[in-house]
């Protein structure tokens, strides 16, 4: 299923040349996709704040020693090009700090460019979502169980949550004794693989009979180390459960398969792989 990364289906004619550059990186260099996504989301936040609060100086200044700049903008020079398109300038403050600033004198002129950038970044972000194979398979939004007392489900964008990772799809239910036995082992393996620095995420597909049972079981998984993602109950009850079960050959549960970062099925017998290699030394168990 989708054995190679897909080019972005995006015929949009961008006025911001740096977005075209990021599109080329996305299409031609899969190793750069995480940086493109992070930069896109960060730019949207920065430029949208300028549009919403043009007269507030704090939204028109970005310190180059900040984590936002050093971790999210600097690795993608095209992102700084987009900020320049919006009117941001390199400046040195009295204390020697290097900043990107949108000067007061150009705020009114730059606001229109910022609005253009927001519109085009939104189109670009939507195109990224459409190009990601697992968004088509699992839906555009997943969820994660929060931590602590009174933990609640938290929405996670599929693209942000899974891009660049091997993905285990775990079919399970609270009423199934073998599932209850396998889940702690999978949770331990999941933590071991991630602790080893490998890009791995699990998506739980519940076969429970009602939402309350699903949420209780999902919280139990998180409590024992399975702090992974899940297809939301609303999506499951709308028919995605059956579609995924057919897609990945579910004939009984627990059923666990592993997908490559581009969505290709590489391990059909993930349950056996975990049981035979609980430390995950042979991960991703491709056959």
Instruction: Answer yes or no: is 228 within a domain.
Output: yes
> What CATH number is associated with residue 181?
3.40.30.10
Instruction: Answer yes or no: is 147 within a domain.
Output: yes
pLDDT of residue 1: 30
pLDDT of residue 45: 94
Same-domain pairing of 59 and 147: no
pLDDT of residue 129: 81
Same-domain pairing of 90 and 199: no
Same-domain pairing of 149 and 39: no
pLDDT of residue 10: 54
Same-domain pairing of 103 and 212: no
Same-domain pairing of 27 and 109: yes
Is the entire prediction scored with pTM above 0.75? yes
Quote the CA–CA distance of 243 and 254 in Å, as a whole number: 17
Domain boundary residue, one of 131, 157, 172: 131
3-state secondary structure of 2: coil
Same-domain pairing of 268 and 140: yes
Q: Where are the alpha helices (DSSP H) in the chain?
A: 17-28, 33-52, 67, 77-86, 107-131, 133-138, 158-162, 177-195, 211-223, 233-235, 241-247, 270-276
Same-domain pairing of 25 and 120: yes
Same-domain pairing of 77 and 166: no
Same-domain pairing of 112 and 182: no
pLDDT of residue 3: 35
Domain boundary residue, one of 83, 105, 131: 131
Quote the CA–CA distance of 204 and 119 in Å, as a whole number: 34
The continuous run of DSSP H or E covering 81 comes out as: helix 77-86
pLDDT of residue 108: 82
Domain count, the chain: 2
Angle between helices 17-28 and 77-86 (to 10 degrees): 160
Quote the CA–CA distance of 268 and 63 in Å, as a whole number: 48
Domain span including residue 190:
135-276
pLDDT of residue 5: 42
For the chain, residues with pLDDT lower than 70 are 1-13, 148-150
Instruction: Answer yes or no: is 285 within a domain.
Output: no
Instruction: Answer yes or no: is 267 within a domain.
Output: yes
- CA angle, 42 then 167 then 178, to 5°: 135
Same-domain pairing of 64 and 118: yes
Which position has the token pair 């996670």? 156
> What CATH number is associated with residue 45?
1.20.58.2190
Domain boundary residue, one of 131, 166, 181: 131
pLDDT of residue 60: 93
Query: Taken in order 155, 157, 160, 166, is the CA torsion positive or negative?
Result: positive
* 200-206 and 166-172 strand pairing: parallel
Same-domain pairing of 154 and 242: yes
């Amino acid at each position: 299923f989708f054995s190679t990364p897909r080019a972005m289906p995006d015929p949009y004619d961008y006025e911001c040349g740096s977005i075209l550059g990021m599109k080329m990186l996305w299409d031609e260099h899969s190793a750069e996709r995480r940086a493109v996504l992070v930069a896109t989301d960060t730019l949207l936040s920065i430029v949208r704040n300028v549009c919403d609060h043009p007269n507030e100086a704090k939204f028109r200044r970005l310190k180059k020693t900040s984590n936002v700049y050093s971790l999210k903008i600097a690795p993608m020079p095209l992102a700084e090009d987009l900020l320049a398109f919006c009117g941001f300038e390199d400046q040195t403050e009295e204390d020697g700090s290097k900043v990107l600033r949108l000067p007061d004198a150009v705020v009114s002129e730059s606001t229109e460019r910022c609005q253009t950038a927001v519109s085009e970044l939104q189109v670009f972000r939507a195109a990224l979502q459409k190009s990601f194979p697992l968004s088509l398979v699992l839906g555009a939004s997943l969820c994660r169980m929060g931590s602590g007392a009174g933990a609640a489900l938290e929405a996670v964008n599929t693209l942000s949550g899974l891009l660049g990772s091997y993905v285990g799809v775990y079919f399970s239910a609270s009423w199934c004794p073998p599932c209850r036995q396998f889940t702690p082992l999978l949770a331990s393996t999941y933590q071991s693989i991630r602790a080893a620095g490998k890009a791995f995420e699990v998506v739980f597909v519940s076969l429970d009979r009602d939402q309350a049972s699903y949420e209780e079981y999902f919280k139990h998984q998180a409590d024992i180390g399975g702090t992974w993602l899940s297809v939301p109950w609303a999506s499951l009850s709308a028919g995605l459960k059956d579609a995924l079960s057919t897609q990945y050959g579910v004939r009984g549960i627990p059923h666990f398969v592993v997908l490559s970062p581009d969505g290709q099925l590489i391990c059909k017998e993930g349950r056996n792989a975990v049981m035979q290699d609980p430390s995950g030394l042979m991960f991703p168990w491709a056959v």
